[in-house]
Chains A and B, each alone.
Chain A
Amino acid sequence: MLALFVVLGLVAGGLASNSCTTEDRREMQLMWGKVWSAQFTGRRVSIAQAVFKDLFHNVPAAVGLFDRVDGSDVNSNKFKAHCIRVVNGLDSAIGLLSDPSTLNEQLAHLATQHKERTGVTKSGFAAIAQSFLRVMPQVASCFNPDAWSRCFNRITDGMTEGLPA
């Protein structure tokens, strides 16, 4: 009997360490909402651009995937607008963590949009996840990297379904 409890405890511990819990998503929504609100002038561009600058610094080959939106000039209006769209997609997904059935539809939509782009891979998403982890603590106060990562992965798992590794 005791052994059963131990096993159950381990199972629960194992689940808790990987999945985006209700507490995690509340925390993520709080961390994100405080830096991203539409009322703050200029913040979005700075944050989104910082994420892509970090990605391109660490994965130079990624720049070529964004030719259509002037990826080689991160300060162009076209690329800044692209940055905003990408991070806005994340914003929607973070909001929808509270409504999983709608979130799944939205992630499937984003997955389709990414499958159409040759060169976009699961490892690319892992790289941009690291970029967010480097940028967010610089702009968010009281950043919780563990809760953030668990829920970020929940989102990218849905977005990268069907993409090459």
Chain B
Amino acid sequence: MKSLIAFMCLLAVAFASECGPLQRLKVKRQWAEAYGADYSREKLGHAIWSHVFQHAPAARDMFARVRGDNIHTPEFRAHAMRVIGGVDMCIALLDDEDILNSQLGHLAEQHSSRGVDAASYDTLEHAIMMAVEEVIGSQVFDEDAWEPCLDVITAGIQG
């Protein structure tokens, strides 16, 4: 009996860290709620990038072309919208793996020359999760679904 319980626990842990079909549906639903429409998107984008630059101030230099020094400018806001628009696309495609992979290949091309290291993707992932949790609430935020599914996306962008 004891070993059965231990086995079930292991199973639960194994499931928890996977971006399976059910986790993908959960992430799609929670993202749709957070991304919303209209102004809430801009708030989400702002939350993500203020978090990123707080944890990695040096990353601002990578965004000089779009006014990374001041995330309140229309130039940077438009950039933030493009990024979360890209996140939105990948999440919408989570349950259509062939097209998702084609899209990740496209994003990989757009990033290959910019020298983004793995740690920066981790920071961005963390920022996205914090921002989504902020909007939908910590009671319902499913970190075990979000983390592995965001890993799928950023791993694809890193090629």
Interface, chain A (partner B; CB < 8 A): 29, 33, 37-39, 41-42, 44-45, 77-78, 80-81, 84-85, 88-89, 91-92, 95-96, 98-99, 101-106, 109
Contacts and interface: CB of A to CB of B under 8 A. Distances in A.
A61 B28 CA distance: 37
Nearest to B77: A102
A103 B29 CA distance: 26
B74 A109 contact: no
19 contacts: A29-B37, A33-B37, A38-B28, A38-B92, A41-B95, A42-B95, A42-B96, A80-B99, A85-B89, A85-B103, A85-B106, A88-B85, A98-B39, A99-B39, A101-B74, A102-B74, A105-B75, A105-B77, A109-B82
* B contact face: mostly helix, strand, loop, or mixed: helix
Interface in B52-67: none
B85 A38 contact: no
Contacts of B103: 81, 84-85
Interface of B: 25, 28-29, 31-32, 35, 37-39, 41-42, 74-75, 77-78, 81-82, 85-86, 88-89, 91-93, 95-96, 98-99, 101-103, 106
A41 B28 contact: yes
B74 A92 contact: no
Please list the 3 inter-chain residue pairs (A to B) with the smallest Cβ-Cβ separation, ordered nearest first.
A105-B78, A81-B102, A39-B32
B95 A92 contact: no
Nearest to B97: A77
Nearest to B92: A38
Most buried by B among A38, A45, A89: A38
Contacts of A103: 78
A160 B6 CA distance: 62
Contact of A88 (B31, B32, B89, B99): B89
A105 to B, nearest CB: 4
Contacts of A39: 28-29, 31-32
A81 B99 contact: yes
